[in-house]
Structure 1
Amino acid sequence: MVWHHLMLDLYGCKLETLGDKSLARRIFKDLSRIIDLRMITEPVIIYYSGERDSSSGEGVSGFVIVAESHLSIHTDLRTNFASIDVYSCKEFDAEVVERYLIKVFGAERVERRFFLRGLKRSEVKSEVERQ
């Protein structure tokens, strides 16, 4: 079994989407439905205004644990930017997720990184197997 990790950086997003906590909650629910993931916690979503000279930006950060791993969102109103991670032990269609998020945020440009993680897990015996 491998884990699938999609990381999207969305540039030129619509400003009104980046500070909206209810939109972040809807995105988590929609992604869970689209990919068929099971949310096992309620999403934790905060709005952070930051300091004017802070490099942390201003926007929404959210995280939800799903049975298959996690989903996260971080936005920055100052640069019209959103960063989304989808991490799952269940295979999913990254292009479907990307198209959905581009549409929701109205992104002008996207950078996608996709990794298969834990490729060598089967080569390592677990503590249980060693006993």
Structure 2
Amino acid sequence: MSVPAPRDAYGTHVLADLGGIAADMLRDPAALEAILLNAAKAAGATVLSAHFHHFGGEHGVTGVVLLAESHVTIHTWPEHRFAALDIFMCGKARAEDAVAQIARELKAEARNVRTCERGVVPPR
């Protein structure tokens, strides 16, 4: 079995854990949708659609923004003042810029960001 040659990455995949966010913000699907849509556009991505679901009462929100360049997702836990982001963007879109803008708009007090270039095959 042959191994493909190394190549440039197809895209950047960022996982971000954001903490210290106001619980009421993490329960507001409309506000979260606006924040993620604005961040995707500011990062140079093309928005195709979005869907956000609030689990009711004091519970959190799960949301996805579908992009021509891939996706932005958020899952929130208001009781822990925590949000998990998953952002994958290819082409000229800038996933790291989207994360930074979302963290700013949510006024996150803490963040743990992990970035992975997707599509790179390491040499054997």
Q: TM-score range by the shorter chain?
A: 0.7 to 0.9
Helix, strand or coil: the match of 1:78? Answer: helix
Matches within 5 A, 1:96-107: 96-107=97-108
**Offset, 1:102:** 2.2
Aligned to 1:10: 18
Aligned to 1:24: 32
Q: What is the distance in 1 between the residues matched to 2:37 and 2:19?
A: 23
**Offset, 1:93:** 6.0
Q: TM-score if structure 2 supplies the norm length?
A: 0.81
Gaps of 5+ in 2: 1-8
Aligned to 1:45: 52
CA deviation digits over 1:87-119, x for unaligned, max 9?
01124161x334322221121110000000111
- Whether the 8 Å contact between 1:21 and 1:46 is mirrored in structure 2 is yes
4+ runs deviating over 4 angstroms: none
Q: What is the distance in 2 between the residues matched to 1:14 and 1:117?
A: 32
Greater share of strand: 2
Q: What is the distance in 2 between the residues matched to 1:58 and 1:35?
A: 29
- Structure with higher Rg: it is 1
Q: What is the distance in 1 between the residues matched to 2:77 and 2:95?
A: 26
Q: Does 2:38 align with 1:34?
A: no
Matches within 5 A, 1:1-131: 1-41=9-49, 43-49=50-56, 58-91=59-92, 92=94, 94=96, 96-120=97-121
Q: Output the amino acid matched with 1:119.
A: V
Q: TM-score if structure 1 supplies the norm length?
A: 0.77
- Identity of counterpart residues, as a percentage? 25
Q: What is the distance in 2 between the residues matched to 1:14 and 1:104?
A: 11
How many residues are treated as equivalent by the alignment?
114
